[in-house]
Amino acid sequence: QFASYMAMVLPMGLGYLWGQLLQADQGDRMAGWGWRERLVAVVGARHGWLLLLALALVNMAAVLIFTASRGAIAGFLSALLFFTLLVAWSRRGGRHLALLGLMLAFCVLAYALWLGIDHVWQRFLEIDDGVSGRTAIWSGTLELIDKFPLLGTGLGTYMHGVRRYNVALGETGHAHNEYLQLLAEAGPGGLLLVVGGLGWFCWRTLQHWFSRHDPEVLGVVLGGLSSVLATGIHSIVDPNFHVPANAFLFSVILALTCVAVHLRQHQGQSVVVFRTSELRLPRPLRLAMHPLALALTLA
């Protein structure tokens, strides 16, 4: 779960750094400068804190490698690919990202090789390690889902349901797959609300992202979307959201992303502007909503 925490933080830091480099480029008009002048401007007194941020990202990336968490590393690399593709597709700051990526990758690789990555390499070579155990847990979870196909067993009751209906799994507290566990506890409706809601949020945020031009907003929002992707992939094999720190950080990232993508400058001040719409329902349907909500809550 610590690896998942790092996989969420890293894309946010990378996006923020990329946005700051874009902003510095626009503010200093470095378009016609050579690489030496650009390097001096970035590490100089005015933007020297960006170098500190880059060193922090190198350290966190090395830490992620040494956790030897295959799920977290795969999630972060997928998020990094997503980040790169979107930057290339939008045609904004591709040169900055390429230079930044090469520099950070070289530093991370040199740092990791200096410390020694033998145990990490061995961990990745152990293909069957942990897979058989997870397969058995997933199979037992599917059996539990089959017994409660509509509403699930109830949130927070997975461990008790597994003990009662699948004794072979023993004291398993988590399904090692957040989607299967949510399906077992909340049913198809709960899974659709959470996964569908997150998917809709990311899609709408991505649509807004393509229409924005503020470098800082572009970096923060793209970093937030990449963090969501990294966590979503890692959650296929680990119960990340059952650790309160990870769930809290994920909520903060969603909030930052939502606020940043709607941030506008109005009369020299930053304001958050949301577009709202009103849905008018017929009176009989409005009256039926309250008893329906009560019935669903009791169910």
Q: What was the pLDDT predicted at 39?
A: 60
pTM strictly above 0.75: yes
User: Which stretches within the chain are classed as H helix?
Assistant: 2-28, 35-43, 48-66, 70-90, 94-115, 118-125, 131-147, 158-165, 178-191, 197-210, 215-234, 244-261, 283-298
Q: Nearest Cα to 53, choosing from 87, 26, 102, 19? A: 19
d(CA 108, CA 106): 6
Q: 3-state DSSP call for residue 143?
A: helix
Q: Which residues of 52-61 are buried (b: 16+ CB within 10 A; e: fewer)?
A: eebeebbebb
Q: What was the pLDDT predicted at 254?
A: 95
d(CA 240, CA 177): 9
Q: What was the pLDDT predicted at 270?
A: 74
Tokens of residue 234, six digits:
């890692």
Q: What was the pLDDT predicted at 229?
A: 93
pLDDT digits (tens, 9 = 90+) for 134-143: 787 888 888 8
Question: Angle at Cα 186 formed by Cα 181 and Cα 187, nearest 5°?
Answer: 95
Q: What was the pLDDT predicted at 129?
A: 52
Percent of the chain having pLDDT more than 70? 80
d(CA 61, CA 43): 21
Q: What was the pLDDT predicted at 231?
A: 92
Q: What was the pLDDT predicted at 166?
A: 66
Q: Nearest Cα to 11, choosing from 226, 284, 173? A: 226
d(CA 16, CA 217): 8
Q: What was the pLDDT predicted at 201?
A: 93
Q: 3-state DSSP call for residue 265?
A: strand
Q: 3-state DSSP call for residue 221?
A: helix
Task: Write out residues in the chain with pLDDT < 70, as ranges.
Answer: 24-48, 93-99, 120-121, 124-132, 166-172, 266-268
pLDDT digits (tens, 9 = 90+) for 82-132: 888 888 887 776 666 666 777 777 777 777 777 777 776 677 666 555 555
d(CA 114, CA 92): 35
Beta-ladder partners of 271? 264
